[in-house]
Amino acid sequence: SFFRKGIVGDWQQTLTEEQIATIVNDHKEVMQRFGYLDDKEQLITQFNHSPQP
């Protein structure tokens, strides 16, 4: 397990490739539904983090 620092994208520095692959594999359907995976089932790592009005 890990604790978040509250830094956007920091998970990429914290989780191993194997951990990321396991999360994607286990939650692929939900991640696709919410737009975290592209049409090739690759993880999208760049998002627009602008605050919503």
Q: Tell me the pLDDT tens digit for each residue of 8-52.
A: 888 888 889 999 999 999 999 999 999 989 888 888 876 555 554
Q: 32, 1, 30, 34: which is closest to 15 by C-alpha? A: 1
* Cα torsion 52, 50, 20, 39: sign: positive
**What pLDDT score was predicted for residue 48?**
54
